Amino acid sequence: MTEGSHGIDRLRGKATLREILEVATGFEASARDFYKDLTPKVSKRIRYLVEELAAEEQGHLDLLTALAQRTDIAEQVQQEIQRTASDSKFSDCLHVPDLGEQPDDQAVLQYAMGREHAAMGHYGELADTTPEGPIRDLFKFLASEETKHKLDLEKIYYEVVHRGGGV
């Protein structure tokens, strides 16, 4: 997983908001790409799941990209922020697991839930340590998005795996 080690390196060296934003963008992009790459590998029966996950990540990526292009936040983006231990969770998640050649829906869901769980925590801590402003709002928003998404995935997981009527 070359992407993953790159991520860790990049995070280690960067400490400005813009840099963090870049890494976060990269994280979302790599997740999206991961799901996109996975799409043809899974059976068509469960492809919807992977496609939805890719679309979700794309949505986050779009948000981050739009934010980075805004000029009015340039000053804030230059500010240093306090580094927290939780940053590493990004890189943890960049270690995408090998789901095998034909992962089933349960494996994909388990992976996705793990990723959302970590992302949720990390965005939350980033928001706590970022000065007020659009970036903090963005982190807060992303944290809540990931939380909602994780809850949704857990519900889907319960319904698919535990509740019987699945495929």
Partner 1 sequence: MSVRDVLSPFTAWKNLFRDPVSIADPLKRQAAPRYRGFHQNDMEKCIGCGTCETICQNGAIDMLPVEGIPTKQGDSGLRPRIDYGRCCWCALCVDVCMTQSLTMSNAYTWVESDPDKFRFTPGVDKKHWDDAELGYVRPEGHRLTGELRVHMPEMEPDVRIGSFAEIVDGYSVEQAVLEADRCVSCGLCVATCPTHMAIPQYIAAIRDGNYDLGLKLLYDSNPFSGICGRVCTHKCETTCAARHEGDPIAIRWLKRHIMDQVTFDQITRVVGQPAASTGKKVAIIGAGPGGLTAAFDLAKQGHSVTVYEALAAPGGMTRWGIPEYRLPYDVIDRDVDVIRSLGVDIRCNTRVGKDVSLEDLRNNNDAVLLGLGLQLGRATRIPGSDHPDVRKAVDLLRQATANEDFGTPRQAVVIGGGNVAMDIARTLARLQKTAYGEVRVTLTALEDINHFLADPEEIKEAGEEGVIILDARGPQQVVVEDGKVTGLKTWRVKAIFDEQGRFAPSYDEADEQFHQGSMIVEAIGQMTDASLLGDELTERLTWNRGRIQIDAGGRTSESWLWAVGDMVHGPDVVTAVADGHRVAASMHANLVLKEQSK
CB of 151 to partner 1, least distance (A): 5
Query: Which helix or strand (DSSP H or E) is residue 121 part of?
Result: helix 105-129
* Nearest residue to 163 via CA among 99, 104, 106: 106
Looking at the Cβ atoms of 70 and 163, the one nearer to partner 1 is 163
18-47: b or e for each residue (b if 16 or more CB lie within 10 Å)?
bbbbbbbbbbbbbbbbbbbebbeebeeebb
Q: Interface with partner 1 includes 100 (CB under 8 A)?
A: no
To the nearest whole angstrom, how small is the minimum distance from the Cβ of residue 149 to partner 1?
11
Q: Which of 41, 70, 95, 155 binds partner 1 (CB under 8 A)?
A: 155
Separation between Cα atoms, residue 22 and residue 29, nearest integer Å: 10
Answer for which of 46, 77, 118, 143 binds partner 1 (CB under 8 A) is 46
Note whether 151 binds partner 1 by CB under 8 A: yes
- Closest distance of CB 98 from partner 1, Å: 16
Binding region for partner 1 (CB under 8 A): 43-49, 105-106, 110, 151, 154-155, 158-167
